[in-house]
C-alpha cells in the first residue's frame, strides 16, 4: 500500500460530521429520522435561533442562525429540540476515539470536525480505503453520518469535505485546483468571511482564481498579513501541521445574550452587562488566563451591530473590573436606542503566571501594601513550584460546570478533551 501514498508529501483527512447536533438527536431517537428537525434555543423567547437542522429541514429553506419563528413559517411541520450538550459531548468523544484508532495525529478543531495526518498509515490501506473505513465505522458504531476530504494539506482537505454532503468522500489534489477551486466565488473559500469577500470584490477579485493571481502588495495593504495568507491558500499552499496539542490554543473568551425584548433602560442594560461580566470572569478563571483587551458587542433594535474594544493597561479576569470597563465602553458607544443583544469578550489572553501589572497613580498604594505578600508567594513558588499556592481567584473551575449554558461550548469542550497519549 505504500505506493498509494506520496513519497515526499502528506495525506491529510478532514472529517466533518453532518448536521451534528440534529444527527445525534436522530441517533438517540430513530423516530426523528427522515423528518425536518432543528436544534434551537428557548422556544418561548425570541432568542430561539436555529443552531443546526437536518437536511430534510434544509429543503424547506431552514438555515443555521435563522430565527425560530422564521424557520417555522417556512416549515410548519418543523420539529424543534433544545440542545443536549452532554449528549453531543459523548458522541464527539466517540467519534474522535474512532479516528485515533488509525493515528495519534488527530487535531480536533471543534466538537464535530477534525484533521488527521495519515501519511504513515500504510497498514490500514489506501487513503480512500481509510476514509471509507472511518465513515463506515462512525455510521455503524454511532449511527452518525460524516463527510471526509482527502488532500495534501489542511486547507484543501477542509475544502474537499465541504464539497459532498452528507456522507461524501472527496479527493482534492493540487493539480485539481484550477478546475475545481478557482471558478468558485471567494465567499465559498474557507477562511474568507463575508466582509473579507466584500473587500476583495472592491479590488475586482470575485473568484478564488482571481485571488490566486492577485497582487500581493494590494492584498497586504487591504487585509494585512491575512491577504498574503489567503492568496497562498487559493494557490493550494498550506504548510500547517496536524497538531494534536492545538486544542489548547484559544484567542478569546466571551459571552453574549439576546434580550427577551428590546430594552432601552440604562440600569436594565447595566444588569445584563454585569451578568455577562460574571460569566466571562468565570470562564477566564477556568482557563487560568487574563484578558489584555476587552470588547463589547451591541446589537440595536434595527439589527445594526457594533463591536468596540479597548486595550487595557492592566490584564483583567475579575468580574468587577470587567463590568466597569464594559460599562464605560457601552456608555461611550450607546446611542440611546433600544438594544436587542449585548456581548462581552476578552481578547489578547495571557496565562495568569505571565501577566504583569502596570503601576499607576491609582493602584500604586494598593500594590505597595501587597508587595511583601507577593514577594513571599514568589519565593515559595520558586522554591517549591508554581502550583504550591494558588490564588483563590485563579482556582480552576470544573470544566463541565454549566456546560449547557456556555455559548462557547466547542472551545470549552476542546480544552477539556482527553489527549490520547495521556492517562486519565
92-109 confidence digits (pLDDT tens): 989 999 999 999 999 988
How confident is residue 249, by pLDDT bands cut at 50, 70 and 90? low
CB 352 within 8 A of CB 290: yes
Could you tell me the three cell numbers for 68?
425560530
pLDDT at 256: 87
- Whole-angstrom distance, CA of residue 73 vs CA of residue 60: 10
Angle between helices 216-223 and 225-234 (to 10 degrees): 130
Q: Name which of 414, 282, 284, 413 is nearest 348 in CA terms.
A: 284
Catalytic residue list: 113
How confident is residue 336, by pLDDT bands cut at 50, 70 and 90? very high
Q: Which helix (H) or strand (E) holds 55?
A: helix 55-58
- Whole-angstrom distance, CA of residue 280 vs CA of residue 298: 16
367 exposure class (CB count in 10 Å sphere: 0-12, 13-18, 19+): middle
The pLDDT tens digits for 209-223 are 999 999 999 999 999
pLDDT at 1: 73
The pLDDT tens digits for 112-128 are 999 999 999 999 999 99
The total of other beta-carbon atoms located within 10 Å of residue 357's CB is 12
- Whole-angstrom distance, CA of residue 181 vs CA of residue 71: 32
The pLDDT tens digits for 312-326 are 888 899 999 999 999
Common-topology check for domains 20-85 and 250-358+390-415: no
Angle between helices 194-202 and 216-223 (to 10 degrees): 130
The pLDDT tens digits for 125-172 are 999 999 999 999 999 999 999 999 999 999 999 999 999 999 999 999
pTM as predicted: 0.64
- The CATH class of 250-358+390-415 is alpha beta
pLDDT at 4: 82
96: Cα separation from own chain's centroid: 17
143 annotated to a ligand binding site: no
3-state secondary structure (DSSP) of residue 338? coil
Could you tell me the three cell numbers for 399?
470544566
- Whole-angstrom distance, CA of residue 270 vs CA of residue 267: 5
How confident is residue 355, by pLDDT bands cut at 50, 70 and 90? low
302 annotated to a ligand binding site: no
Across the chain, mean pLDDT equals 84
With a pLDDT cut of 90, the percent of the chain lying above it is: 59
pLDDT at 54: 96
- Whole-angstrom distance, CA of residue 184 vs CA of residue 234: 11
CATH among 3.40.50.300, 1.10.150.650, 1.10.3720.10, 1.10.150.20 for 182-234 = 1.10.150.20
Could you tell me the three cell numbers for 7?
513519497
Q: Name which of 11, 17, 16 is nearest 128 in CA terms.
A: 11
CATH topology of domain 20-85: MutS, DNA mismatch repair protein, domain I (3.40.1170)
Domain residue spans in the chain? Answer: 20-85, 182-234, 250-358+390-415
pLDDT at 187: 94
pLDDT at 395: 45
Could you tell me the three cell numbers for 90?
459523548
Amino acid at each position: 500500500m505504500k505506493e498509494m501514498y506520496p513519497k515526499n508529501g502528506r495525506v491529510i483527512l478532514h472529517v466533518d460530521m453532518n448536521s451534528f447536533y440534529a444527527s445525534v438527536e436522530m441517533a438517540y431517537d430513530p423516530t426523528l429520522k427522515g423528518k425536518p428537525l432543528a436544534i434551537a434555543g428557548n422556544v418561548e423567547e425570541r432568542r430561539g435561533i436555529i443552531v443546526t437542522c437536518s437536511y430534510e429541514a434544509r429543503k424547506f429553506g431552514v438555515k443555521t442562525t435563522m430565527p425560530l419563528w422564521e424557520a417555522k413559517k417556512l416549515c410548519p411541520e418543523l420539529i424543534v429540540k433544545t440542545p443536549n450538550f452532554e449528549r453531543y459531548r459523548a458522541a464527539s468523544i466517540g467519534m474522535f476515539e474512532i479516528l485515533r484508532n488509525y493515528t495519534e495525529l488527530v487535531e480536533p478543531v471543534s466538537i464535530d470536525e477534525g484533521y488527521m495526518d495519515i501519511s504513515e498509515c500504510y497498514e490500514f490501506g489506501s487513503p480512500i480505503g481509510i476514509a471509507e473505513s472511518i465513515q463506515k465505522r462512525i455510521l455503524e458504531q454511532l449511527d452518525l453520518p460524516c463527510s471526509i476530504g482527502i488532500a495534501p494539506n489542511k486547507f484543501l482537505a477542509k475544502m474537499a469535505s465541504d464539497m459532498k454532503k452528507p456522507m461524501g468522500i472527496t479527493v482534492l489534489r493540487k493539480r485539481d485546483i484550477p478546475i475545481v477551486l478557482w471558478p468558485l466565488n471567494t465567499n465559498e473559500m474557507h477562511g474568507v468571511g463575508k466582509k473579507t469577500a466584500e473587500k476583495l470584490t472592491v479590488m475586482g477579485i470575485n473568484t478564488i482564481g482571481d485571488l490566486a493571481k492577485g497582487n500581493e502588495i494590494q492584498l497586504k495593504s487591504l487585509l494585512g498579513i491575512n491577504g498574503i495568507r489567503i492568496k497562498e491558500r487559493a494557490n493550494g499552499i498550506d504548510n500547517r501541521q496536524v497538531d494534536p496539542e492545538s486544542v489548547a490554543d484559544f484567542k478569546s473568551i466571551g459571552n453574549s445574550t439576546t434580550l427577551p425584548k428590546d430594552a432601552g433602560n440604562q440600569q436594565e442594560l447595566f444588569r445584563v452587562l454585569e451578568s455577562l461580566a460574571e460569566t466571562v470572569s468565570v470562564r477566564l478563571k477556568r482557563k487560568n488566563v487574563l484578558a489584555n483587551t476587552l470588547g463589547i458587542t451591541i446589537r440595536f433594535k434595527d439589527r445594526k451591530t457594533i463591536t468596540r474594544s479597548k486595550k487595557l493597561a492592566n490584564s483583567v479576569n475579575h468580574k468587577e473590573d470587567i463590568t466597569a470597563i464594559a460599562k464605560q465602553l457601552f456608555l461611550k458607544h450607546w446611542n440611546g436606542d433600544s438594544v436587542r443583544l449585548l456581548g462581552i469578550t476578552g481578547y489578547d489572553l495571557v496565562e495568569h503566571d505571565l501577566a504583569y501589572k502596570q503601576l499607576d497613580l491609582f493602584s500604586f498604594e494598593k500594590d505597595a501594601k501587597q508587595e511583601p505578600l507577593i514577594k513571599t508567594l514568589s519565593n515559595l513558588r520558586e522554591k517549591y513550584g508554581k502550583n504550591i499556592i494558588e490564588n483563590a481567584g485563579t482556582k480552576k473551575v470544573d470544566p463541565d460546570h454549566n456546560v449547557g449554558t456556555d455559548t462557547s461550548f466547542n472551545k470549552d469542550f476542546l480544552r477539556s478533551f482527553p489527549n490520547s497519549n495521556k492517562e486519565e
